[in-house]
């Protein structure tokens, strides 16, 4: 089953990852520029959360398929990945809360650029 899914998505997975990350990155850049003169905090909207969840799910699907194709136990990697993800997410949220109040637009611009760069890297790895 893993090989069938891999063959199904192998032709366009890099385009999908690039497109989603570039879209989210560009949205962040646009919002940072349009909010320059309005320093109030904003909440995540449903469309942004859905796009981020799809991008994350695609990444998790690729990792799960890799483990299935390698025929390795996933218990240890799940524990390590889960622990690191939780720790870095908590750290990022804590630091983001403190820095976001003073550097909100600049941090959002940096985040958008990073997402676009990651998407471009994924795309170039498959094309080259």
- Tell which wins on pLDDT, 125 or 13: 125
What pLDDT score does 113 carry? 95
Residue of 118, 96, 117, 116 lying closest to 107 (CA atoms)? 96
Q: How far apart are CA 60 and CA 66, in angstroms?
A: 10
Q: Which residues contact 31 (CB under 8 A, 6 or more apart)?
A: 42, 108
- Tell which wins on pLDDT, 81 or 2: 81
What pLDDT score does 53 carry? 81
Report the mean per-residue pLDDT for the chain. 81
Its pTM stands at: 0.55
Q: How many CA atoms lie within 13 A of 109 on its CB side?
A: 9
Lowest mean pLDDT among 12-26, 68-82, 95-109: 95-109
123 pLDDT exceeds 80?
yes
- pLDDT over 90 for what percent of the chain? 19
33-81 pLDDT tens trace? 887 656 555 677 788 788 878 877 777 777 777 777 777 788 888 899 8
- Tell which wins on pLDDT, 94 or 103: 94
């Amino acid at each position: 089953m893993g090989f069938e899914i891999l063959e199904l998505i192998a032709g366009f997975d890099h385009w999908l990852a690039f497109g989603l990350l570039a879209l989210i990155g560009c949205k962040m850049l646009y919002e940072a520029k349009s909010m320059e003169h309005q320093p109030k905090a904003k909440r995540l909207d449903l469309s942004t959360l859905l796009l981020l969840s799809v991008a994350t799910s695609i990444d998790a699907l690729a990792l799960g398929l890799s483990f299935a194709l390698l025929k390795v136990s996933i218990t240890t990697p799940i524990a390590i990945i889960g622990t690191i993800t939780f720790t870095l997410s908590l750290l990022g949220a804590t630091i983001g809360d403190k820095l976001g109040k003073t550097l909100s637009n600049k941090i959002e611009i940096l985040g958008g650029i990073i997402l676009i760069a990651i998407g471009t890297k994924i795309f170039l790895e498959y094309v080259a």
